[in-house]
Amino acid sequence: MKFMKRIPWFTLIAVLNLAGCASDVRHTATHFTPPSGEQLAPIVIPGNIEVRPVSAYRGSLKAGSVWDYAGRIPEGAVYRVKNDVFMVEGANRHEAYCVISNNRLVGFFLPVEQAFIAIEPTVSLVLK
């Protein structure tokens, strides 16, 4: 306990607060292309799906939620939730759209940031 006498109490509190803070969501810039004549059917999430975006908190896609086709990014087709907003959260909250490739949820498109965030592991989808 001798070291406690050498460290000012406010320094110790600052270090502990920083250790408990969430980091910002790490994402990669991507290029979004809106639909141009391509119309894909909406998808329905059959059951709650737990997802773990890289560098963000765990989230859940709601059972029965409907997602409309919004466009494409190189990582896959982009779907936006209908009548709701889906968010990923780290130090900040970010609106997010699902990115699906080969019937797998591979991550999220962040429309404000024009960026992609992967999920680990990817999730196989049985879409309605």
DSSP letter for each residue of 27-71: -EE---B--SS-----EE--S-EEE-BTTS--EEEPTT-EEEEEE
pLDDT at 33: 95
Structure-token match 């494409």, residue found: 72
Beta carbons within 10 angstroms of residue 50's beta carbon: 10
Average pLDDT over every residue of 31-47: 90
And the tokens for 98? 């699902």
99 burial (CB, 10 Å; 0-12 / 13-18 / 19+) is buried
Structure-token match 């059951």, residue found: 47
pLDDT at 7: 53
> What is the DSSP code (8-state) at residue 102?
T
Average pLDDT over every residue of 36-56: 86
Q: How confident is the model at residue 25 (pLDDT cuts 50, 70, 90)?
A: low
CA–CA distance, 52 with 55 (Å, rounded to integer): 8
Q: Coil, strand or helix: which one is 77?
A: strand
Q: What is the pLDDT of residues 94-126, one digit of tens each?
A: 899 999 999 999 999 999 999 999 998 999 987
pTM tops 0.95, yes or no: no
pLDDT at 109: 97
